[in-house]
Amino acid sequence: MSMHIARHSFGNISGDKIPIQMLQKLYRHSSVATTMLYQANFMRRDTDSALDKVLNF
């Protein structure tokens, strides 16, 4: 597993469960804006919740 895949896997698993400031530290980003842009790809709580309502999970 490459480091790139590992970081994306972590981002996907953490989603919006970990505060953005902590993710910034974990990713070692100098700017929280960078972390927000990066993590936006993995934040899906609203869409997951909507799908759960439709699919009755």
pLDDT in tens, 4-23: 888 878 888 887 788 999 99
Q: Give residue-wise pLDDT tens across range 27-39.
A: 899 999 999 888 8
Query: Could you tell me which of 45, 7, 5, 12 has the C-alpha nearest to residue 29?
Result: 7
Q: 11: burial class by Cβ within 10 Å (0-12, 13-18, 19+)?
A: buried
Name the phi and psi angles at 28, rounded to 5.
60, 40
The residues spanned by each domain of the chain are: 3-55
Query: Which amino acid type is present at position 33?
Result: A
CA-to-CA separations, 20 to 1, 8, 15, 52, 55, in angstroms, rounded: 25, 15, 10, 25, 29
